[in-house]
């Protein structure tokens, strides 16, 4: 087995063995104390970090890019799940691979013919996947599901804060689970909290991206315990 194949199997095992896993979205963390935040998340039992990359074009907000991924890779062995909310994913995906990403998802809305990029990312040993907004017809994603290692079902429109959880995501998770089984990891992002997390897991979600339900709490360990209890 080649080094790249070993890397891919390692990454896949990291994500599969963590499932169902709570993935903190670092958008809300304290970037002035990034290493301290990461250590607190590690102590709370987090296994995967979720990184939302926004370009101010595909979505109206700007977040961070490769330097943050590189910084995180230097200070932690936790898996890094990079969600590209950008207009030209093919232009930048390999830079995120080099920065240390373990998984990369990009939007079907940004790249209607994604097969080549999915295969290029996977060929580096990094998990590759597609994300889809709740307002986008699933028919656009279905033909490419077989080329994905992950599918990210957005339960809010990407890039907009303060939105309520869209239950359409639950039907989409169920559909994907029934058609692709356990071959592809299913991820859900947006409005996941104590009240919605159980429904997401029941619908088939393997990876659950959490923001304010964790980072708006005083104690990450207690917040993780509550979320894990709610999953059950």
Active site residues: 52, 189
- Where does residue 170 rank: exposed (0-12), middle (13-18), buried (19+ CB within 10 A)? buried
Q: How many CA atoms lie within 13 A of 147 on its CB side?
A: 19
Q: How many CA atoms lie within 13 A of 128 on its CB side?
A: 24
Strand blocks (E) in 55-157: 79-85, 103-107, 127-132, 150-154
CA distance 81 to 151: 12
Q: How many other CB atoms are found less than 10 A from the CB of residue 43?
A: 11
CA distance 204 to 199: 9
Q: Is the peptide bond before 20 cis (omega within 30 degrees of 0)?
A: yes
- CA angle, corner 60, sides to 59 and 63, nearest 5? 80
CA distance 67 to 84: 14
Strand blocks (E) in 44-184: 48-54, 79-85, 103-107, 127-132, 150-154
């Amino acid at each position: 087995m080649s080094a790249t194949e070993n890397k891919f199997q390692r990454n896949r095992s990291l994500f599969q063995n963590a499932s169902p896993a709570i993935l903190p979205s670092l958008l809300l963390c304290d970037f002035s104390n990034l290493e301290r935040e990461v250590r607190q998340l590690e102590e709370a039992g987090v296994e995967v970090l979720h990184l939302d990359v926004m370009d101010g074009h595909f979505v109206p907000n700007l977040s961070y890019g490769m330097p943050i991924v590189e910084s995180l890779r230097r200070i932690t062995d936790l898996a890094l799940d990079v969600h590209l909310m950008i207009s030209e994913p093919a232009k930048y995906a390999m830079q995120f691979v080099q920065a240390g990403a373990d998984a990369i998802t990009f939007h079907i809305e940004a790249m209607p013919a994604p097969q080549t990029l999915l295969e290029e990312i996977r060929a580096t040993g990094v998990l590759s996947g597609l994300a889809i907004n709740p307002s986008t017809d699933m028919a656009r994603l279905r033909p490419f599901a077989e080329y994905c290692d992950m599918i990210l079902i957005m339960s809010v429109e990407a890039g907009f804060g303060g939105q309520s959880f869209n239950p359409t995501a639950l039907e989409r998770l169920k559909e994907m689970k029934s058609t692709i089984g356990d071959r592809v990891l299913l991820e859900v992002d947006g409005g996941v909290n104590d009240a919605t997390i159980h429904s997401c897991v029941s619908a088939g979600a393997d990876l659950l991206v959490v923001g304010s339900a964790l980072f708006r709490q005083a104690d990450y360990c207690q917040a993780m315990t509550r979320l894990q209890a709610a999953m059950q």
